[in-house]
Structure 1
Amino acid sequence: MITLNSEQGFVKVESWEDIETLPGFTTNLDPKEHQLNQIIGRYIFKDYIKCGLSNCHTPHGRGYIVSTKSGPITNIGHNCGKSHFDVEFDQLSKVFERNIALHTYSENIRSTLKSLDFYKEKIASIRSGPQGADALYKKSLLLFKGKSGCPEAATSIISKMVRGRNSVISIEKEASRKEIDYLEAIQGKKLPRPYYIEEKVGELSGLSFLFEENSLRDILVLDLDNSFKSLSELDVDNGSFNELKEWSAWCSVIERKIENIENLIDVGIKLLRKDNLLQISAAISDKKQKDEYIKFINANM
């Protein structure tokens, strides 16, 4: 990849042959006879290119295209630049790299701004409908205490599963003598009687939909919606380096964020199926609350 700083700003150059045809370009510049003027380009290649200094010619994959005060242009690696042009080259290379980064950030942001309406429409589509993000988020809130009338026995089980990030639905039961003998043999110690163990009665699909970091409200409203608004108000031409760097990084992951939301919606649909959530009833010991939970799921999911 070759980037040149031209009168039109930073431009990408397709091939090294285009550099070799620049007026004044030489592959054999004597650094003792020429003074550095400015850095006019940067290149990064898998294949190595010989240094253009007459006393070097060491092949390297990354370097700069420089002009001299007397006119000739050549290519040099960073080490050669520091060795032969000292502090001046080091300062110029840092400024050049910063300017390239600033240009890249700005272009990335502008590209995203052009597609902003498309992203907004896509998010609106994702949020709408009976199995859209908004509907799934509201339904998921019903599974937690104080949100809907879901029996406390069920909300306690679900909350415990979320905290433990464990999708296995289990009940506590008294271990049989055979089970205790087996556990004592494994653990190498005597266990108290009675001894209670966890028995699996089901496994909940899509539990991760309820994890805090997967909150659709946080992702869609606090992140995407608010960021779309802030981005549309951003003054790209006058933004600070750090500001543009942060926004460019955010723009680079928009499509991944949207893809993650779509995947998360699929997880939510699996979680909120009636047959999936009704598995919880097997772990509710109180008959009244079990019946209330079954009725609740059938009415709300």
Structure 2
Amino acid sequence: MITINTAKGPFKVESWEDVLERPGFTPDLDPNQHKLDSVIGRYVFGDMVKCGLSNCHTPHARGYIVATKSGLETNIGKDCGKKYFGLDFDYMAKQFDIDMAAHENRDILWSFSFQVEELEAKIAMLRTSDKGADWVNKNANALTDPGKLPLTVTRQIGELVKQKSGRYTREREATAQEAEDMETKAGRKLDRPLYITDYEVNIRGIEALYPENNLRELLIVQILDELKAFKKLSIDELSHAQLIRWKKWATSVDLILDNASASIDHGRVLLTKENLEPLSRLENLNKNGELQRFLAFIGQLC
């Protein structure tokens, strides 16, 4: 990759031959006879190119194209730049890299700015479609809110989220007869007490409740709130640090949307009567009308 900066802005050069054919470019510049004027380009290759200084010519894969005060151009690596042109080169090379990064980041942000309406429409569709993000978020939050569902249920859901698994088992101590049967099957005496699994269920889609999959955080906080601030920006006036910050966000939006879409899918699997009904058999749920409250909740999910 070769990038050269001009008064009209940076542009990509296709091949090293294009650089060699530039007016004033010399592959054999005497650094003792010329003073550095500016860094005008940089390159990164898989193959090696020779240093353009007459007393070096060491092959290297990455370096800079520089212009001298006499109007000649050549190519050098960082080591030669520091050695023959001192702190001037070090400063100019760093500034060139900053300027190029700023230009690339501005291009990314300008391109992103033309996608804002499409992005807003996509988020609106994700939120309001049948059993979309808003529906999933509302009902998923209820599963962890003791104010909306029985504490027995919300505690169990909390445990499933904590263990990152929808698998739930309930064990009880085996009766004397059950213990004898287990020993007979094992063909030996077993340490007491013995336990058996009373029932086992697997709540699918529990991933929808993981903190990193929270739909409000993904769509509202990480995208829409940021988008409001982005739309007020003057991209051409952003500082280097601001460009880095907004470019990082803009290039993360697609991944955030993918995560949100996956979370919606998990939520649609989780939030069905059939999937959540096994939780109605939790101990202590049949108190103070709690079972009826839970059954009413899962009944409206259909």
- By the TM > 0.5 criterion, same fold? yes
- SS of the equivalent of 2:23 reads coil
AA aligned to 1:173 is R
2:222 paired residue number: 223
Per-residue CA distance 1:27-67 (angstroms, 9 max, x = gap)? 11111111111100011111221111111111111100001
> Which piece of structure 1 moves more, 199-208 or 83-92?
199-208
Structure 2: segments with no counterpart, 5+ residues: 184-189
AA aligned to 1:245 is I
CA distance in 2, matches of 1:199, 1:117: 54
**Aligned counterparts, 1:41-120, within 5 A:** 41-120=41-120
1:238 paired residue number: 237
CA distance in 1, matches of 2:48, 2:278: 62
> Which piece of structure 1 moves more, 272-281 or 283-292?
283-292
CA gap of 1:179–1:20, structure 2 versus 1, over 3 A, is farther
Q: Is the 8 A contact 1:64 1:78 kept in 2?
A: yes
CA distance in 2, matches of 1:275, 1:162: 19
Displacement of 1:294 in angstroms is: 3.3
CA gap of 1:205–1:52, structure 2 versus 1, over 3 A, is same
AA aligned to 1:111 is S
CA gap of 1:291–1:226, structure 2 versus 1, over 3 A, is closer
AA aligned to 1:298 is G
Q: Is the 8 A contact 2:146 2:154 kept in 1?
A: no
**Aligned counterparts, 1:25-44, within 5 A:** 25-44=25-44
- SS of the equivalent of 1:32 reads coil
CA gap of 1:95–1:254, structure 2 versus 1, over 3 A, is same
Q: Is the 8 A contact 1:30 1:53 kept in 2?
A: yes
AA aligned to 1:215 is N
CA gap of 1:179–1:282, structure 2 versus 1, over 3 A, is farther
Q: Is the 8 A contact 2:276 2:298 kept in 1?
A: yes
1:293 paired residue number: 294
Name the count of aligned residue pairs.
291
Q: Is the 8 A contact 2:42 2:63 kept in 1?
A: yes
Displacement of 1:199 in angstroms is: 6.1
Alignment TM-score, normalising by the size of structure 2? 0.88
1:142 paired residue number: 142
1:170 paired residue number: 169
CA distance in 2, matches of 1:249, 1:110: 14
AA aligned to 2:18 is D
Aligned Cα root-mean-square deviation (Å): 2.3
- SS of the equivalent of 1:64 reads strand
Structure 1: segments with no counterpart, 5+ residues: 182-189
CA distance in 2, matches of 1:286, 1:254: 42
Alignment TM-score, normalising by the size of structure 1? 0.89
Displacement of 1:212 in angstroms is: 1.8
Q: Is the 8 A contact 1:154 1:284 kept in 2?
A: no
Q: Is the 8 A contact 1:284 1:290 kept in 2?
A: no
- SS of the equivalent of 1:74 reads strand
AA aligned to 1:255 is D
CA distance in 2, matches of 1:141, 1:20: 64
Q: Is the 8 A contact 2:272 2:298 kept in 1?
A: no
1:187 paired residue number: none
- SS of the equivalent of 1:108 reads helix
CA gap of 1:260–1:145, structure 2 versus 1, over 3 A, is closer
Q: Is the 8 A contact 1:168 1:200 kept in 2?
A: no
CA distance in 2, matches of 1:94, 1:153: 61
**Identity value in percent:** 37
CA gap of 1:10–1:198, structure 2 versus 1, over 3 A, is farther
CA gap of 1:120–1:145, structure 2 versus 1, over 3 A, is closer
2:248 paired residue number: 249
Per-residue CA distance 1:145-199 (angstroms, 9 max, x = gap)? 3443x33322221122223323211113115648998xxxxxxxx97x5465766
1:186 paired residue number: none
CA distance in 2, matches of 1:198, 1:62: 65
CA distance in 1, matches of 2:198, 2:30: 81
CA distance in 2, matches of 1:178, 1:109: 72
